[in-house]
Amino acid sequence: MQHVELRSDTMTRPTPAMRKAMAEAEVGDDVFGEDPTVNRLEAMAAERLGKEAALFVPSGTMANLVSQMAHCGRGDEMILGHLAHSFYYEQGGSAAVAAIHPRTVPNQADGTLPLDELEAAIRGDNIHFPRTRLIALENTHNLCGGAPLEPAYLKAVGDIARRHKIKLHIDGARLFNAAVALRVPARQLAFEADSVSFCLSKGLAAPVGSIVCGSREFIQTARRARKVLGGGMRQAGVLAAAGIVALNEMVDRLAEDHANAHRLAEGLAGISGLKLDSGRYKTNIVYFDVVKPGLSAAELVAALQKEGVRMLAAGPRTIRAVTHYEVTEKDIDYALEATGSVMRQEKISI
């Protein structure tokens, strides 16, 4: 039986070139700043995103938290979308760990926050209010179907942040997917941000790790935050080596994942009992709804698993499928065939 893994691009395993680079990596103690491979990765990443400095962290969650901690003090406020990964899927770590007060503005379907609502949410100086210190955007926007945020929108948000003297962080877990989809250099998407994070361990296929980029001063503070969170790693060059291969070899090919996601979305839209607006999906994440009476997302996911196709139930009726380098066009066709045949069954066996 064919096996098609569409639950997440985090499922990607390191490529043979990564495993070789990992085995051969030169290492030192990174808490002392002495791991040459980590230093090389950080310099490469900073250069690539047009920032002064960068920091290698174990995960996207820690990348967001150290950035928030570097920009905000206890009791300060951060504005972000109600569907932001940071708000939704990170255990409320900003509040629980860093005592940062999150204030949400509703995300629009394209991942943006309405500019007027965003600006209205920024607090004035008043003894009753927390101080607004930070706006956080997400690019691409996971829960908004992998929507890429365009440079013009980022510029508009950057203008608001500057006008109010507050900082802008971009959770760019999939920043390179946005860059490839919009056909702009990643540094253009980072330009307005005081800090930007991206994940090496999603579509770029490294086994572990994320990067935060920003000014030298910001990165120094973020480095302290990483240490208190237990994220100071030692011979981390073994991991950074895979990150270097990820940046060198795995970015341009993301276009294939987008083409496969597009193919999947078009195919799913043609299957009776499923509902999606296939034109919406511009990167590697596709969400669709199960509208066949009596069938839940979890039941369809379970039935597909029996056919070797793995997807994620993201809600009672909603399923998520994510493409990545271990998924081929043939796999997509197989997944579509399997989904079509399961959906045609009178009574779906799970």
89 binds ligand TLP (CB under 6 A): yes
Single out the residue of 8, 107, 195, 260 in contact with ligand TLP (rule: CB under 6 A). Answer: 8
Judged by CB under 6 A, the stretch of 55-63, 74-82, 117-125, 260-268 that binds ligand TLP is 55-63
Single out the residue of 12, 15, 59, 132 in contact with ligand TLP (rule: CB under 6 A). Answer: 59
Single out the residue of 5, 30, 42, 138 in contact with ligand TLP (rule: CB under 6 A). Answer: 138
Q: How far is the CB of 285 from ligand TLP (least distance, A)?
A: 8
Q: How far is the CB of 201 from ligand TLP (least distance, A)?
A: 6
61 binds ligand TLP (CB under 6 A): yes
Question: Within 13 Å and on the Cβ side, how many CA atoms surround 273?
Answer: 16
In SS3 terms, 106-144 reads as: CCCCCCCCCHHHHHHHCCCCCCCCCCEEEEEEECCECCC
Q: How far is the CB of 197 from ligand TLP (least distance, A)?
A: 8
Number of neighbours of residue 47 by Cβ within 10 angstroms: 13
142 binds ligand TLP (CB under 6 A): yes
Is the separation of the CB atoms in 67 and 51 below 8 Å? no
Single out the residue of 69, 134, 173, 247 in contact with ligand TLP (rule: CB under 6 A). Answer: 173
How far is CA 115 from each of CA 24, 122, 154, 243, rounded to the nearest angstrom?
48, 11, 10, 35
Which CB sits closer to ligand TLP, 199 or 303? 199
Buried b (16+ CB within 10 A) or exposed e, 305-322: eebebbbebbeebebbbb
Sequence-ordered list of residues with C-beta below 8 angstroms from that of 59, at least 6 positions apart, any chain: 199, 201, 208, 209, 210
- In angstroms, rounded to a whole number, what is the distance separating the alpha carbons of residues 46 and 58? 17
Which CB sits closer to ligand TLP, 18 or 342? 18
Single out the residue of 85, 167, 169, 282 in contact with ligand TLP (rule: CB under 6 A). Answer: 85
Which CB sits closer to ligand TLP, 8 or 132? 8
Residue nearest to ligand TLP (CB): 60
Letter for the amino acid at 270? G
Is the separation of the CB atoms in 111 and 101 below 8 Å? no
Order across the sheet with 210-214: list the strands. Answer: 53-57, 210-214, 195-199, 167-172, 132-138, 77-81, 101-105
12 binds ligand TLP (CB under 6 A): no
User: Residue 327, exposed/middle/buried by CB under 10 A (0-12, 13-18, 19+)?
Assistant: buried
Q: Return the bridge partners of 132, or none.
A: 77
- In angstroms, rounded to a whole number, what is the distance separating the alpha carbons of residues 167 and 170? 10
Q: How far is the CB of 217 from ligand TLP (least distance, A)?
A: 24
- In angstroms, rounded to a whole number, what is the distance separating the alpha carbons of residues 51 and 66? 17
10 binds ligand TLP (CB under 6 A): yes
68 binds ligand TLP (CB under 6 A): no
335 binds ligand TLP (CB under 6 A): no
Letter for the amino acid at 12? T
171 binds ligand TLP (CB under 6 A): yes
Judged by CB under 6 A, the stretch of 54-62, 97-105, 146-154, 212-220 that binds ligand TLP is 54-62
CA-based nearest residue to 322, from 11, 93, 1, 53: 11
Judged by CB under 6 A, the stretch of 59-67, 74-82, 125-133, 177-185 that binds ligand TLP is 59-67
Q: How far is the CB of 346 from ligand TLP (least distance, A)?
A: 33
**Residues in region 192-231 near ligand TLP by CB under 6 A:** 199, 201, 210
Which CB sits closer to ligand TLP, 225 or 343? 225
> Contacts with ligand TLP: how many residues (CB under 6 A)?
14
Which residue ranges make up the site for ligand TLP (CB under 6 A)? Answer: 8, 10, 59-61, 85, 89, 138, 142, 171, 173, 199, 201, 210
